[in-house]
């Protein structure tokens, strides 16, 4: 007996009989859940599907809109296909490869004989608008694997043929949008007209399958939104990101330098950048000592055997530099600090009374990153980890992880980060240790997060080879997420290195090891700080905290004496005694993003005062030099933070006045 109807379960739990073979869109319309073009796809049994997908059995069905993660993927994947059609229309010899949605946009890679120019992108964008106006439906079709190979071979799409040959399925799907048929699993929006606001952003080279041994392709990046208002807001954000680019500001503010003669991915810290780094490191050491850590140091190289024991040569080889020969022995530039801390643990016998042990090090490591992925401070080959390794008995594990989490949030908050996304990463496909041990470690991480009342998500299969981990992504002032902090449980290395402690029963036992980094690496964290603050660091971090500016040559001696007084009190200060116009010197100080400008003229010399200007053009009035000094010391010592754009520190008793001018200007 044929079943002519099936049951649909909606998000609110209600049930509705529909004819077998009805589309997901029709099922949603019955419930009033498909209004205009806001609904662009459907979740069928939790999986995104086309609205035209035919329902053949009982199912749960829910609408997909752009404001959902699944909706953004569908919307931008469809946008990539529309762009691909425009490129093929204008450049028929371009071969199609892949065109996925990505965070906040999409791209498509083309095999073409030359890079696409800005003028090309304008033409492509104009053609995209024509395709959208045509409002052609996306129609899914299925064909056998062999038929698909022949189909795309006839059209000269060699890369599509190569992709299909790698598929295990006997049947493959493609989408026809009335001008382009592209290999794709889908789903897609109902028609090209569903895409309303689209913008092509840039083009770049990209290797086929991300392998530098493969041919170079031409990649076009774009983004799309349901409304022009949303698109304009995003483009404004991109402009703000450009202004804050740490590579640009790092050069302008004389913080860092990257030199090809030194080597790509290797950072030179200039005096001002090194000054900021010193403040970060001093805070790091101070707080680690307060939190019960012991500071250690380790060499930059070790015998390769150490990395064989740790498992890095087996699981991490591609990210390690080639070994070097020393007196007939293989030595390795260290990619990690952990084996050294393990050997420090092994330097003498340990008792349960000694545990937990917490070793911390600002340890510089070296990893072979391909040149194509290097990016300023964010992706480098040599960097300093704010590293620590804890050794504890099993009963201490959950409490130690909880302490690390609380410490992490304290440190991040001190630097101005208060929004986080937290993930527990579970066992990957390539891992060591039993599933039982992994489950035990994962449970401990989750229990610690719950005890700290921290919400989290599961990131399946993203743990490191030796154990599960907690990853913390911070959000900057522009709402971007950055991976920094990590906490990893390791049962494997204590086993590999034969670590032991004498238990309360007098017998040897195996400790548990915790790997953790709070900031990740100093380099990357510094790059994030530059962009978070747009180079205008809070006073406690600023390389120069104040500058004394003499209006004329007559005040030089007083300005020099004032600068010496501040320097003697520990303030990072400069004096501008040049015979330049006052307005020019103030603008120079503003460009350098110095928090305080202390202007001195004849009146200030007579009264022993300074006229205080805050970064951002705010005149804070005159005050005695010693009064200003004490207030500045309190602000710096308290590590006051004001991370939002334009919200500068306010000294006690100050009345902001943006219109008043200093004497002589």
Residue 433 has a pLDDT of 78
Longest dimension (CA), the chain: 105
- Residue 429: DSSP 8-state: S
What domain range includes position 100? 70-243
* 355 and 420 part of one domain: yes
Rounded distance, CA 611 to CA 549, Å?
10
CB 159 within 8 A of CB 111: yes
* 601 and 470 part of one domain: no
Q: How far is CA 47 from CA 15, 74, 340, 371, in A?
A: 19, 12, 47, 38
Query: What's the CATH code of the domain at 601?
Result: 3.40.50.800
Residue 269 lies in a domain: no
* 618 and 561 part of one domain: yes
* 351 and 209 part of one domain: no
* 207 and 185 part of one domain: yes
Residue 665 has a pLDDT of 33
* 178 and 191 part of one domain: yes
* 505 and 609 part of one domain: no
CB 95 within 8 A of CB 157: yes
* 94 and 49 part of one domain: no
CB 260 within 8 A of CB 267: no
Residue 539 lies in a domain: no
Query: What's the CATH code of the domain at 29?
Result: 3.10.20.30
Q: Catalytic residues, which ones?
A: 338, 367, 385, 387, 389, 469, 515
Sequence-distant (6+) residues with CB within 8 A of 124 are 83, 86, 87, 90, 116, 200, 220
Residue 330 lies in a domain: no
Residue 440 has a pLDDT of 85
* 498 and 420 part of one domain: yes
Query: What's the CATH code of the domain at 218?
Result: 3.30.980.10
Residue 662 has a pLDDT of 34
Residue 454 lies in a domain: yes
Residue 653 has a pLDDT of 36
Residue 213 has a pLDDT of 87
Residue 404 lies in a domain: yes
* 12 and 154 part of one domain: no
Residue 483 lies in a domain: yes
Residue 36 has a pLDDT of 65
CB 487 within 8 A of CB 401: yes
Residue 2 has a pLDDT of 52
Q: Which helix (H) or strand (E) holds 15?
A: strand 15-19
Q: How far is CA 620 from CA 372, 418, 538, 591, 648, in A?
A: 48, 29, 17, 19, 12
Q: What is the mean pLDDT of each run of 10 residues along the chain (665 residues)?
A: 80 93 93 80 96 95 95 97 98 96 95 96 97 96 94 95 92 94 96 96 92 92 97 95 95 95 95 98 97 97 93 86 92 94 97 97 94 89 96 94 95 94 90 83 91 92 86 91 92 92 96 95 96 95 96 94 96 95 94 95 94 89 92 87 37 35 34
Rounded distance, CA 576 to CA 1, Å?
94
Domain count across the chain = 4
Rounded distance, CA 389 to CA 295, Å?
11
Query: What's the CATH code of the domain at 399?
Result: 3.30.930.10
* 87 and 232 part of one domain: yes
Residue 3 has a pLDDT of 60
* 233 and 348 part of one domain: no
Residue 321 lies in a domain: no
Residue 439 lies in a domain: yes
């Amino acid at each position: 007996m044929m079943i002519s109807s099936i049951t649909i379960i909606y998000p609110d739990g209600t049930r509705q009989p529909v004819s077998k073979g009805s589309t997901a869109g029709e099922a949603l319309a019955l419930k009033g859940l498909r209004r205009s073009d806001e609904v662009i796809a459907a979740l069928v049994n939790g999986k995104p599907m086309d609205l035209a997908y035919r329902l053949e059995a009982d199912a749960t069905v829910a609408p997909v809109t752009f404001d959902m993660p699944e909706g953004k993927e569908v919307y931008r994947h469809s946008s990539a296909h529309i762009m691909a059609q425009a490129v093929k229309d204008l450049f028929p010899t371009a071969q199609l490869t892949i065109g996925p949605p990505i965070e906040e946009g999409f791209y498509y890679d083309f095999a073409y004989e030359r890079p696409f120019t800005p003028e090309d992108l304008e033409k492509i964008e104009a053609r995209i608008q024509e395709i959208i106006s045509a409002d052609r439906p996306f129609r899914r079709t299925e064909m056998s694997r062999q038929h698909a190979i022949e189909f795309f071979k006839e059209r000269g799409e060699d890369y599509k043929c190569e992709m299909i040959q790698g598929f295990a399925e006997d049947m493959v799907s493609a989408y026809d949008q009335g001008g382009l048929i592209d290999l794709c699993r889908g789903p897609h929006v109902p028609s090209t007209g569903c895409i309303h606001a689209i913008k092509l952003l840039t083009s770049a080279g990209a290797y086929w399958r991300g392998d530098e041994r493969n041919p170079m392709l031409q990649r076009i990046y774009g983004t799309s939104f349901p409304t022009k208002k949303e698109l304009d807001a995003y483009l404004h954000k991109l402009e703000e990101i450009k202004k804050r680019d740490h590579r640009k500001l790092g050069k302008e503010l004389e913080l860092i330098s990257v030199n090809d003669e030194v080597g790509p991915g290797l950072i030179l810290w200039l005096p001002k950048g090194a000054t900021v780094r010193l403040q970060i490191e001093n805070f790091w050491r101070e707080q680690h000592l307060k939190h019960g850590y012991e500071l250690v140091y380790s060499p930059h190289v070790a015998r390769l055997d150490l990395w064989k024991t740790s498992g890095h040569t087996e699981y991490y080889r591609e990210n390690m530099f080639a070994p070097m020969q020393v007196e007939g022995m293989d030595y390795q530039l260290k990619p990690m600090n952990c084996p050294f801390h393990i050997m420090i643990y092994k330097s003498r016998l340990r008792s349960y009374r000694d545990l937990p042990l917490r070793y911390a090090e600002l340890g510089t490591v070296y990893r072979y990153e391909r040149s194509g992925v290097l990016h300023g401070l964010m992706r480098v080959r040599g960097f300093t980890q704010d590293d620590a390794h804890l050794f504890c008995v099993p009963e201490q594990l959950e409490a130690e992880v909880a302490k690390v989490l609380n410490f992490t949030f304290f440190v991040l908050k001190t630097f101005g980060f208060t929004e986080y996304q937290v993930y527990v990463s579970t066992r990957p496909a390539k891992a060591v240790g039993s599933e039982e041990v992994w489950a035990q470690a994962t449970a401990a991480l989750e229990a610690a997060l719950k005890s700290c009342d921290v919400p989290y998500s599961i990131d399946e299969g993203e743990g490191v080879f030796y154990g599960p981990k907690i990853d913390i992504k911070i959000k900057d002032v522009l709402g971007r997420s950055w991976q920094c902090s990590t906490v990893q449980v390791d049962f494997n290395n204590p086993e590999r290195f034969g670590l032991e402690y004498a238990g309360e029963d007098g017998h040897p036992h195996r400790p548990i090891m915790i790997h953790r980094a709070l900031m990740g690496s100093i380099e990357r964290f510094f790059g994030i700080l530059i962009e978070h603050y747009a180079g205008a660091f809070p006073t406690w971090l600023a390389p120069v905290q104040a500058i004394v500016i003499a209006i004329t040559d007559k005040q030089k001696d007083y300005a020099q004496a004032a600068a010496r007084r501040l320097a003697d009190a520990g303030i990072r200060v400069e004096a501008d005694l040049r015979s330049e116009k006052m307005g020019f010197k103030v603008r120079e100080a503003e460009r350098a993003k110095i928090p305080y400008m202390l202007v001195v003229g004849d009146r200030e010399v007579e009264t022993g005062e300074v006229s205080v200007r805050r970064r951002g053009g705010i005149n804070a009035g005159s005050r005695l030099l010693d009064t200003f000094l004490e207030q500045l010391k309190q602000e710096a010592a308290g590590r006051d933070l004001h991370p939002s754009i334009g919200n500068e520190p306010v000294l006690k008793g100050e009345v902001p006045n943006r219109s008043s001018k200093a004497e002589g200007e």
